[in-house]
Amino acid sequence: MTPRVVFPNRILPYLLLAPQLAITLVFFYLPAVQALYQSMLREDPFGLRSRFVWFANFRKVLADPAYLNALHVTVVFSVATAVVAMGVALLLAVMADKVVRSRGLYRTLLIWPYAVAPAIAGMLFLFMFNPSIGTLAVLLRKAGIAWDPLLNSTDAMVLVVTAAAWKQISYNFLFFVAGLQAIPKSLIEAAAIDGAREVKRFWTIVFPLLAPTTFFLLVINTTYAFFDTFGIIHAVTGGGPGKATETLVYKVYNDGFVNLILGESAAQSVILMIIVIALTAIQFRYVERKVHYG
Amino acid sequence: MATVDLNDVRKVYAGGFEAVKGVSIAIPDKALCVLVGPSGCGKSTLLRMIAGLETISSGTISIDGKVVNNIGPTDRDIAMVFQNYALYPHMSVYDNMAYGLRNRGTPKPEIDSRVRATAKTLELDQLLDRKPRQLSGGQRQRVAMGRAIVRNPKVFLFDEPLSNLDAKLRGQMRVEIKNLQRNLGVTSVYVTHDQLEAMTLADMLVVMNAGVIEQIGAPMDVYEKPASTFVAAFIGAPPMNLMALTHGADGTATVAGGAKIAGHVPEQAAILGLRPEDAIVPAPDATQKGALSLPVAVEAVEPVGMESFLHCAIAGERIVVRVPGRSMVQPGDRLEIAAGLDRLHFFDKDGRRV
Ligand SMILES: Nc1ncnc2c1ncn2[C@@H]1O[C@H](COP(=O)(O)OP(=O)(O)OP(=O)(O)O)[C@@H](O)[C@H]1O
Ligand SMILES: [Mg+2]
């Protein structure tokens, strides 16, 4: 039982909470409500008048092939980013766990990319994979791969996924390292004595015991891929070629701020909001059940 | 069914610390060998080397006549019970026990029958579906035992398996482990720092101190003929009384400021040992006096039920003696305690038995 803190003053607690609540209200709830309202408005081409149209924007957006394309792109992009970022991070964490000497140095270096701003990370990859001047592009071409993210949509997707995943690997790595350290060494030893070799041990003992960490990171990474990758996509491909890397978030920006179709853009935001709420709810409800805590 | 032979085994840890300094033990088939010693003396290190969890810095370890220095824990065909049990928290009791068999490709029906049979012996059959966290400490201990037994390995290794249990349960499990080990006839190495556990379980007792073996022998032999003052003080509770012994010019040996020892005392003897229960209290009349008679002052009386311990002082030495039942002696009383010559232990100035 945690001791209960009792405030003698009835108003003071609310006063102390007020700044935090005010910020949340002004910067999160207000815009959300506004977006909800705006998603039901339609403006004339000159932006002089707007009309209340109920769900017309939603109907239009959901019937738009370009929007369905963005949805598809987002799913592919998010799944790929989460899988790559988590897979690579787990691999690195397992390896770093085995390093005996200068383990701290490896860890520090592996954590650095997280400090790089998304747009800069994007530029980094843009340069490295630039078909004409990029060092890695040259290597790829030498290896016989016709690398051209400016024209080939698969290449473009690979590029944004790489850039987005690269940035997230550090974060995942940190959690996986902590997760691995929390597994008692004697369990691994017991499994070794029980006749399980390294790979078997990993899949039957280590991986299941990492499940809480993996689950947590799954939520974080999906949310990241959905929302926080705008900067990377903007810098690397700008949603192209064609609309091959245009995710839902990118389309919201494009339609709203570039093409100034505010009503539809707002409708897209609302849909996005619903998707994320649903995703998180599903993850917590179903995935968590298969996770063994403790 | 296997013998375990350690030949001049050493362990130097990465930092340069030598935890085990040349240990040789030959454990016969089916024997229960208990490694006992104070904390930090290298018992676990030695056990983990037998398991293959620590590398062997020098010397050889053989199981069943085969040197296993370069064989990993997976292939040594041993089973180990850890102090913290190391049960797989995400697996049921059944899966915990079946894990080792599955890894070795045992057919499913056989796994099932073996797990159920073992669970029955250990009275775990009602708990097979539970996760470790849903078990009591004693039940977890049984599962850890079951996981070792079900595999039917060549050697069992136990690292203080009972130290997390309460005193009563520990006593029960001790008897059970002994019976199980005898019935299964599996060679075992058992690490403990509890001398009572060591005495009652061992076929072969190995007393260790600071990385070296002080004595190897049957428990009662070790008890009756401790090879050193260290063993004398470690085995037995309360420990053996040790007193400085001086040889007079006239050839008589005295202790505790003048008490003479009647009878032959070896020349090199510098320390006299007397077990608390070997003292006769109060001393019988002069006609049947023992070899040693000490007039002591009682400082404290410790009744523990079926016996009492008297803490006494004489000329700067402190000795503890045991008297049966409740004692009428009060602190401050003066007593005469005696001991027969055959009950006296002599050690040289380095603490070796003479
Ligand atoms: N990995 C290690 N690196 C360096 N020194 C170690 C390591 N493990 C153990 N030691 C040292 O080796 C010595 C023996 O340790 P060990 O664990 O074998 O003791 P023990 O006899 O089992 O003690 P306890 O009864 O407390 O379990 C100790 O002094 C310990 O500090
Ligand atoms: Mg130990």
User: Given the DSSP bridges, would you call strands B187-192 and B155-159 parallel, antiparallel or unpaired?
Assistant: parallel
> Is A100 a residue whose pLDDT tops 80?
no
Q: Name the CA dihedral angle for A193, A199, A205, A208, rounded to a multiple of 10 degrees.
A: -170
- Which of A65-74, A96-105, B192-201, B324-333 has the weakest average pLDDT? A96-105
Token pair for residue B253? Answer: 């040996």
Domain edges within chain A: 54-290
- Of the two residues A104 and B298, the one the predictor is more confident about is B298
B152 lies in the same domain as B181: yes
Instruction: Give B20-36 pLDDT, tens digit per residue.
Output: 999 999 999 999 999 99
Assess whether the C-beta atom of B43 lies below 6 angstroms from ligand 1: yes
Of A193, A196, A211, the CB nearest to B79: A193
Q: Look at residue B352 and tell me if it is in a domain.
A: no
pLDDT digits (tens, 9 = 90+) for B205-253: 999 999 999 999 999 999 999 999 999 999 988 899 999 888 887 778 8
Residues B211 and B245 in one domain: no
Quote the CA–CA distance of A245 and A251 in Å, as a whole number.
Answer: 10
- CB contact (8 A) between residue B86 and residue A200: no
The answer, yes or no, to whether residue A1 has pLDDT greater than 50, is no
Residue numbers in B near A100 (CB within 8 A): 14
Please tell me the distance from the alpha carbon of residue B197 to that of residue B235, in angstroms, as a whole number. Answer: 11
Instruction: Please answer yes or no on whether B80 and A193 come within 8 Å at the CB atom.
Output: yes
Nearest by CB to A195, from B14, B88, B103: name it.
B103
B148 and B163 in one domain?
yes
Q: What is the pTM of this model?
A: 0.80
What is the whole-number distance in angstroms between the Cα of residue B58 and the centre of ligand 2? 21
Number of H helices, E strands in chain B: 8, 19
Q: Which of A257-261, B177-181, B350-354 has the lowest mean pLDDT?
A: A257-261
For B71, nearest residue in chain A (alpha carbons): A193
**Separation between Cα atoms, residue B171 and residue B189, nearest integer Å:** 19
**Residue B285 pLDDT class (50, 70, 90 cuts):** low
- Closest ligand 1 atom to residue B193 Cα is 25
Q: What is the ipTM of this complex?
A: 0.84
Supply the pLDDT for residue B137.
87
Instruction: Please check whether residues B211 and B266 belong to one and the same domain.
Output: no
A190/B80 Cβ within 8 A: yes
Give the least confident one: A2-11, A24-33, B184-193, B256-265.
Answer: A2-11
In a domain, B100, yes or no: yes
Co-location of B20 and B93 in the same domain: yes
Q: Where are the beta strands (DSSP E) in chain B?
A: 4-12, 18-27, 32-36, 58-63, 66-67, 78-81, 155-159, 187-192, 204-209, 212-217, 241-247, 253-255, 259-261, 271-274, 292-303, 307-314, 317-324, 334-339, 345-347
| Residue nearest ligand 1's atom 4 by CA | B13
Same domain, B325 and B177: no
Q: Are B286 and B343 in contact (CB under 8 A)?
A: no
Task: Looking at mean pLDDT, say which of A159-168, A284-293, B150-159 comes out highest.
Answer: B150-159
Q: What's the total number of domains in chain B? A: 2
Answer whether A187 sits within 8 Å of B79, measured CB to CB.
no
Question: Any residues with CB less than 8 A from the CB of B77 and at least 6 apart, and which?
Answer: B63, B153, B154, B155
- Do B191 and B291 reside in the same domain of the chain? no
Q: What is the CATH number of the domain that holds B135?
A: 3.40.50.300
Helix (H) or strand (E) holding A249: helix A248-253
Q: Is residue B354 part of a domain?
A: no
User: How far does the CA of residue B151 sit from the closest CA of chain A (Å)?
Assistant: 8
CB-nearest to B90 from A184, A200, A292 is: A292
Closest Cα to atom 5 of ligand 1: B13
The Cα of A178 is separated from the nearest Cα of chain B by a number of Å equal to: 18
For residue A288, the model assigns a pLDDT of 61
Distance (Å, whole) CA A128 – CA A149: 12
- In one-letter notation, the amino acid at residue B220 is M
Ligand 1 centroid to Cα of residue B36, in Å, is: 14
Closest-lying ligand 1 atom to the alpha carbon of residue B47: 18
Distance from CA of residue A35 to its chain's centroid?
22
- pLDDT value for A85: 92
Tell whether B60 is covered by a domain: yes
| Residue A2 pLDDT > 50 | no
- Neighboring chain B residues of A186 at a CB cutoff of 8 Å: 82, 84, 86
Q: Examine the pLDDT at B284 and tell me if it is beyond 70.
A: no
Q: Which residues of B fall below an 8 Å CB-CB distance to A?
A: 14, 51-53, 72-74, 76, 78-80, 82, 84, 86, 88-90, 99-100, 103-104, 131, 133, 147, 151
Query: Measured between alpha carbons, how far apart are the two ends of chain B, in Å?
Result: 38
Which CATH number goes with the domain that contains B337?
2.40.50.140
The residue among A83, A107, A101 whose CA lies nearest residue A175 is A107
Both structure tokens of A112: 């650095």
Question: CB–CB of B88 and A192 under 8 A?
Answer: no
**B353 domain-assigned:** no
User: In this structure, is residue B12 part of a structural domain?
Assistant: yes
Q: Chain A 96-115, CB below 8 Å of chain B: which residues?
A: 100
Statement to judge: residues B74 and B192 lie in one domain: yes
Task: Kindly report the nearest CA distance between residue B204 and chain A, in angstroms.
Answer: 25
Residues B211 and B273 in one domain: no
Q: How many CB atoms lie within 10 A of CB B243?
A: 20
> B243-275, pLDDT tens digit by residue?
988 888 777 888 877 788 888 888 888 999 999
Average pLDDT, chain A: 81
| CATH topology (fold) of A54-290 | MetI-like fold (1.10.3720)
> Residue B127's Cα: distance from chain center in Å?
32
CA dihedral sign, ordered A207, A211, A217, A219: positive
User: Where does residue A14 rank: exposed (0-12), middle (13-18), buried (19+ CB within 10 A)?
Assistant: exposed
- CA-based nearest residue to A261, from A67, A45, A51: A45
List Cβ neighbours of A242 (8 Å cut-off, separation of 6 or more).
A153
Q: How many CA atoms lie within 13 A of A49 on its CB side?
A: 3
Ligand 1 mutation target, pool B9, B12, B13, most atoms within 8 A of CB: B13
Whether the CB of B44 sits within 6 Å of ligand 1 = yes
Could you say which ligand is closest to the alpha carbon of residue B41? 1
Please tell me the predicted confidence (pLDDT) of residue B289: 63
Which parts of B68-154 are beta strand (E)? Answer: 78-81
Q: Is the domain of B138 the same as that of B62?
A: yes
Atom 11 of ligand 1 has which residue's CA nearest to it? B19
Neighbours of B328 (CB within 10 A): 9
pLDDT of residue A5: 63
- Looking at the fold, whether B29 and B163 belong to one and the same domain comes out as yes
Min Cα separation A284/chain B (Å): 19
- What is the distance between the terminal CA atoms of chain A, rounded to a whole angstrom? 20
> Are A248 and A74 in contact, with CB atoms under 8 Å apart?
yes
Selected residue with higher pLDDT from B68 and A247: B68
In Å, what is the CA distance from A235 to each residue of A160, A163, A178, B343, B347? Answer: 9, 10, 32, 91, 84
> Shortest CA distance to A163 belongs to which of A113, A111, A115?
A113
Kindly state whether residues B59 and B182 are assigned to the same domain.
yes
Q: Determine the pLDDT at residue B218.
A: 94
Domain that holds residue B279: 241-347
Which residue, B214, B234, B254, sits at the end of a domain?
B234
- Whether B73 sits inside 8 A of A208 (CB atoms) is no
Mutate to test the interface with B, among A188, A194, A210, A215 (most CBs of B within 10 A): A194
Out of A138-152, B74-88, B278-292, B327-341, pick the least confident.
Answer: B278-292
pLDDT band at A290 (very low <50, low <70, confident <90, very high): low
How far is A272 from A267, CA to CA, in rounded Å? 9
Question: Is B315 a domain residue?
Answer: yes
**Each residue's pLDDT tens digit, A233-253:** 887 777 778 777 888 888 888
| A189 interfacial to chain B (CB closer than 8 Å) | yes
Cα–Cα distance, B176 to B124 (Å, whole number): 14
Q: What is the mean pLDDT of chain B?
A: 89
**Range B302-317 average pLDDT:** 88
